[in-house]
Each structure stands twice: as structure tokens, then as C-alpha cells.
Amino acid sequence: MKLPGFIDSHLHVLGIGYFSYNVDLSEVDSIEELKRKLEPHKNETIIIGRGWNQERFREKRMLTKQDLNDVSQTVPIVLSRVCGHVLTVNDCMLKLAGIDQYTPQVEGGSFSFHNGVFTENAIGLIHDNLPKPTIADIRRYLITADKILLSQGITSVASDDFCIFPIPYETIMSTINDLYREDLLHVKITEQVNLGYRDLQDFIAKGYVNKDFGKYRMGPLKILADGSLGGKTAYLSNPYENDSTNRGICTHTDEELFEKVYLADKNGMDVVIHAIGDAASEQAINALIHSLKITGRTNHHHALIHAQLTTKEQIKKMKQWNIGAIVQPIFLNSDIAIVKNRLGERAKETYLFKTMHTAGIPVGFSTDAPVEPVSPFLNIYSAITRKSLSRPDLGVFLEAEAFDFETALSCYTEVNKAYVYHDDSIANDYVIVDRSYTDTDSLLKMRILETVIDGKIVYQAENGQK
């Protein structure tokens, strides 16, 4: 069966490759099992892992530095939660980063010297003190990610790569372009430009806005307005259920967010904003509207990324101002188990992706890999069934929000092509799969046989990448 090449409208290419070289903790079911999984790495110079989820732990609590100190007090350990918005380190890593009980808190984030847990903007205190990757490392991560994407039928992506490591953004740009010239990179990348205000000014001044290098081009400004639901850092209008003092983390003031949005918007640059909580969505939508009222742009492709807790009233404003939504149905895999616990009765107005689509909002599908698996088939399965892949016993979540196969496929292809990627060259990209769609179970068995980009076979299942 032939299908259009899949377009993932938000992921992290460099992160996918990098994560594949980290300790994978995504299947760990207890803190004790996590400790055992780290044991073989005790003689390394540093242990970096990702994917743990306290909701999977039998202990049902956050990972702390005391747990990691049990593994090693002489080797730095840095373990990111599955969402990437929370990480835990041991005392050795705190010492390496120069952090003690007197270190001031970071605005738009938090950390605890007592338990070694860092969130949002405070994560930079740790990342800035990790070993910097070499150009050879970056090349290896990108080539690895390319192979993974092609094997899943992904032919084009919108990717946030500048924030993965604290290195100059032009280093990432030049390395990606070198790999294309050497024919070592095949998936087409639109960069979601994740830069701070000063670097954004530099980016604009150097003429990079919407710059097209060929298969690699500069896309929208990417901004993070809050965190994650699982990490309880998504920014809510009301406190989390049974946690009356916590509304999550707002990473920017209203003024800071507007300044970044307006700087991009007035220079003809689109803006995509990570907003999971309803308060973050409100802040993001208002910043975009405020800017559009000044710039008067009508041909923009601004969007919210995630929009998980965006309300029906906010959806009306998105439609009015042509603000798109880049969503991840596969997040339901992890979130169905926690959404009621986090939000109580408010859970009934969440993950309203079909409502957005029916309202006429451009809804593009993505996976946010490596946060969730990059498979388009698993993502479409989640969109159609509204079930958790790992916990089907939890049943269907808000069945009225379920997509049919054709609509879900269009959100992965036609919508992403027109609104997110807006590039006609991808018309020649397609995949061959081993079976036709008959029911949702067939999606779980579907396999990519060939991936074709610009008329060239770049992946074959029998022989791997050509």
C-alpha cells in the first residue's frame, strides 16, 4: 500500500539521536529497577539517562538525589524525566555544577538542593555543566536519528534542535547542511528556532529568517511557555487537584513573551509556542493576538504546540485569529492514567483535538519524539481509539474527540504540508507499507517497506537504509 510521506510537525531530530546513546529508562517500573539499570555504567565518567516516569514506579514518587547517591557518589548522574521538563541529579553532579543550598533560584523554573530535582529554566544550571558534544558527536546523533525516522516513514519534520545542547546555533546549522551536502542526511528539516531574545536578535540581523538551504530551512520561532502535565509543571489557571499551592510553572512574564513574539512577528517570522496548561494557552494566544493587532499579518502560520488543556473558549479565539495547533494524540498513552488525578473534573475539557479540527483550526499531528515513539501508526492509533497503548484497560478517553483514519492521515500529511511545512516539494515523497488499513489493530502491525524522498529510495526494510 502506498501512502504519502509522513510529516511530523514537532519533534527533536538531534534529541532522538542523542537519546539513543543515553541510558533508556522508559520501561523502568520501579526506582529499585532504575538503580539496577544504572549499575553497569558506574565506571563511566558521567551517567546520562532519560525516560523515567514516576507514574510507572511502584513507589509512586519522584526520583530524588538520594536514590542516585545509592548508585554512585563519585560519578555524576543526570536523569531526565520522559517529558524532558524535569530532571534529577546526584550530589556529585550538584558539586560539578557548583550548586549548593545558597544557589539562588532561577526565574521560570525551580530546583531543590535537598532532593536534586530541577524543572524548566533551572535545568540549564545542569545542562550548562555537561560535557559539550564534538562536531563528530553531533554528526553521529543526526545520522542515527535520520535512520530511525526513515524506518518509520517520516520524510519531513519540523524540529527543535538549537536547545538540545548549550552550543552556538550556527554550529548546528552548519553541521546539518554539511550532512546534506555529503548525502548523509535525507529527511527534510524545517527548524523550529528555539533561541533566547539576544540570540534571536542575532539570528534576525544575520538574515536567517525563513532562509532556505534546500532540504534544510529556517522555520518559526519556538517558545516554551510552560512545562508538562506529568511533571506538574504545566501552567494552570487553577491549582492541580489535591495540590492547592501548585499551578505549575510559567516560564515567561506576559511582557517577556510578547516581546519575543512581536520581535519575530514584525520580521515576518512565524511563532510556535509550547503551551500545555490552560493558563499557558491563554498567555500564548493573547501574546500572538497582541502582536497581530500591531503587525496586521494575515498570512502567518502561528500555532500552539501541544494545546492539551486548551479550553473551548480559547479554541474560538484560535479560530478567529487563524492560530493553528500542533498536537500529539500519542500523549494519551501516558496521560490517560494521570489526567483525572492532575485535574479532577477539568479533565473533561482536555485534549480537544477533534473539536479544534471541526472548528476549522489547522491541526497538525506530531509525536514530540523522543518524548514519545516517533511511529506515525501508533500516533494515528491513539487519535482514532483515544486509548492508552500501554494501559488499554483504562478505556476510551472522551470518545467524541476521536478521529477517523482518513482525517487522521490528512493531519499527518495534507495539513502539515499546507500549514506547518508549506512546501510543495514534498509531493514526491511517499512510503510503501506492508498492509492496507482495515481496522485499528492493523495500525499496530503496519510496517514500512520503503521510504522514498524526491523520487529516491532512501530506506528499504529488507536491507535497511540505502
CATH (domain of 68):
3.10.310.70
Please state, in angstroms and rounded to a whole number, the distance separating the CA atoms of residues 20 and 36. Answer: 19
Calculate mean pLDDT across residues 385-405.
96
Which of 100, 127, 154 is the last residue in one of the domains? Answer: 127
- Residue 73 is assigned to a structural domain of this protein: yes
Question: What three-state secondary structure class fits 408?
Answer: helix
Which of 127, 156, 185 is the last residue in one of the domains? Answer: 127
Residues 112 and 142 in one domain: no
Residues 233 and 176 in one domain: yes
Residues 270 and 416 in one domain: yes
Calculate mean pLDDT across residues 149-177.
97
pLDDT for position 466: 47
Residues 49 and 87 in one domain: yes
At residue 423, does pLDDT exceed 90? no
CB-based burial label for 387 (10 Å; 0-12, 13-18, 19+): buried
pLDDT for position 425: 63
- Residue 466 is assigned to a structural domain of this protein: no
Please write the tens of the pLDDT for every residue from 102-129.
999 999 999 999 999 999 999 999 999 9
CB-based burial label for 198 (10 Å; 0-12, 13-18, 19+): exposed
Residues 317 and 209 in one domain: yes
Residue 260 has φ and ψ, to the nearest 5°, of -70, -45
At residue 426, does pLDDT exceed 80? no
Residues 231 and 349 in one domain: yes
Calculate mean pLDDT across residues 351-363.
98
Prediction pTM value? 0.94
Please write the tens of the pLDDT for every residue from 9-49.
999 999 999 999 999 999 999 999 999 999 999 999 999 99
At residue 389, does pLDDT exceed 80? yes
pLDDT for position 463: 54
Residues 394 and 414 in one domain: yes
Calculate mean pLDDT across residues 334-344.
95
Residues 238 and 96 in one domain: no
For the chain, give the mean pLDDT: 96
- Residue 381 is assigned to a structural domain of this protein: yes
- Residue 53 is assigned to a structural domain of this protein: yes
Tell me which of 415 and 236 has the higher pLDDT.
Answer: 236
Residues 172 and 282 in one domain: yes
Please write the tens of the pLDDT for every residue from 45-69.
999 999 999 999 999 999 999 999 9
- Residue 165 is assigned to a structural domain of this protein: yes
Please state, in angstroms and rounded to a whole number, the distance separating the CA atoms of residues 81 and 62. Answer: 10
- Residue 222 is assigned to a structural domain of this protein: yes
Domain span including residue 33? 16-127
Q: How far apart are the first and last CA of the chain?
A: 21
- Residue 196 is assigned to a structural domain of this protein: yes
- Over pLDDT 70: what percentage of the chain? 98
pLDDT for position 422: 64
pLDDT for position 417: 87
Supply the CATH number for residue 138's domain.
3.20.20.140
Domains identified in the chain, total number:
2
pLDDT for position 428: 84
Residues 103 and 143 in one domain: no
Residues 118 and 141 in one domain: no
432 near 412, Cβ under 8 Å?
no
The amino acid sitting at 24 is: D
Calculate mean pLDDT across residues 135-152.
98
Would you place residue 178 in the very low, low, confident or very high pLDDT band (cuts 50, 70, 90)?
A: very high
At residue 177, does pLDDT exceed 70? yes
Would you place residue 420 in the very low, low, confident or very high pLDDT band (cuts 50, 70, 90)?
A: confident
pLDDT for position 416: 87
Residues 92 and 145 in one domain: no
Which of 95, 127, 159 is the last residue in one of the domains? Answer: 127
Question: What three-state secondary structure class fits 96?
Answer: helix
Please state, in angstroms and rounded to a whole number, the distance separating the CA atoms of residues 370 and 82. Answer: 8
- Residue 465 is assigned to a structural domain of this protein: no
pLDDT for position 201: 98
Please write the tens of the pLDDT for every residue from 283-312.
999 999 999 999 999 999 999 999 999 999
Please state, in angstroms and rounded to a whole number, the distance separating the CA atoms of residues 175 and 139. Answer: 7
